[in-house]
Amino acid sequence: MHIQNAVVLITGANRGVGLAFAREALKRGAHKVYAGARDPDSVTLPGVEALRLDVTRPDQVAAAAARLRDVTLVINNAGIARVGSMLKDDAIEALRAHLETNALGTLRIAQAFAPVLARNGGGALLNVLSVLAWVSSPMLGTYAASKSAAWSLTNALRIELKAQQTQVLALHMGFVDTDLTRDFALPKVSPESVVARAFDALEAGHEEVLADDITRQVRQGLTAEPAIYLGERRQARD
């Protein structure tokens, strides 16, 4: 999948990693970039076409797929992250909210745009995941659970979309220097470095990309004894 001349849809494109994806897509010569956001007025990047797109709203997703018939690359970036204990009274509601956006929203977009990608030769689907798909933390448990679900459904989509020659890329990352992580005094990588690695991997035909050192360390630790996911991981979140 080449970014040059691609028609790109990015969800959650008004800030953070989504905004960095939009900038890099333009830099690499994308033919058109659709920037989805709950509030399209919050999209201020010159050169993109803003659209109202809340991934938790089936009507908005369906309308976008019906309108954007030229898309060849879908970047599932929209997501939420809330801090809170799994044992608090509101944990179930927090998990429901995380799943609705981070997992079901990802799947909703993939289902709607799979036929669009197929008509345009297959294209690619890039799902923004997290190192917390593999490890967790008491205050990020519901977020981690939603990213685990998103990782699993990404793997299933890869298998199902292979028949229509759609490349599916899973992007895993730890802390990224965005508004979302402003209050976390931990080492962070830049959105630009994450996006550059993701696009390089996409253009190389890869199916998974580990965007930073923390993510690569955690991945190696999955087969350690004891496995890294059996303990708390405090330094990993997107």
Catalytically active residues are 143
DSSP state of 238: -
Cα 175 → chain centroid: 14
Side chain identity at 171, as an amino acid letter?
A: L
The DSSP result for 193-236, as a single string, is: HHHHHHHHHHHTT-SEEE-SHHHHHHHHHTTSSS-GGGSB--S-
The DSSP result for 155-185, as a single string, is: HHHHHHHGGGT-EEEEEE---BSSGGGTT--
